[in-house]
Amino acid sequence: MIKREDMLELTRRMNDSRAHIARVAGAYLDDEGYIDGTFNTNFLNIHGEEKKRVLEIAKSIPFSRTNEELVQYKVPGLRPGTVWQLLYALRDCELKNDALLLSLYEYIGERRITGMPYAVYVYYGTYDIPVKAADHTLGESEEIYRYLIVALCPLNEKQEAVMPDAGFLYPVLTDRSTDINHVNIYSRNEDRTEAETLKEILLLA
């Protein structure tokens, strides 16, 4: 069960002036799941309308309705050779390893074939969690929460990624602390078909 307070603490700081996203990478996949192109950039190097578009995609996942569109699942473990070891390594390298990113895009492309081209956007962010005093005032940081947001996005007529059909946040923020044992999966579809596909991709089914 996702605590709305945890998600609000994260999302209220995801705006143009103080977004704690550091890096964004992605791939464009064709209708058969093969990679058409990739990118990897510092978030601060994105400007104007493009920055707004990229940020809105990231925000749509943690800003979604908790325990309805965004649902928490237990991670099966970080065993060697699994997608979870790959995701953990991507977080640790702060998305600065293109070979690891390519492995993720290929892994997803082989398992999610929609018959339509789509994009995979991957975000790395950090949030300095401030100490909350007894009088509810906030002090200096006591922990740095480091996370990934992965968004699976359809493309518009300009071949730009738009609001995602599905995605996930990993690790999750639980009781104001990093929780590597759970993942929050987002699905825009009411029938949760995209969520079920993601569960299979992430070995949660």
Q: Which tens digit of pLDDT belongs to each residue from 65-89?
A: 999 999 999 999 888 899 999 999 9
Question: What are φ and ψ of residue 163, in 5° steps?
Answer: -50, 135
Which residues contact residue 122 at a Cβ distance below 8 angstroms, ignoring those fewer than 6 apart? 24, 25, 26, 90, 95, 101, 104, 148, 149, 150, 151
Average pLDDT on 147-174 reads 96
Query: Cα–Cα distance between 38 and 195 in angstroms, integer?
Result: 24
Question: pTM for the complete prediction?
Answer: 0.93
- Whole-angstrom CA distances from 109 to 56, 144, 165, 200, 201 are 23, 32, 15, 13, 10
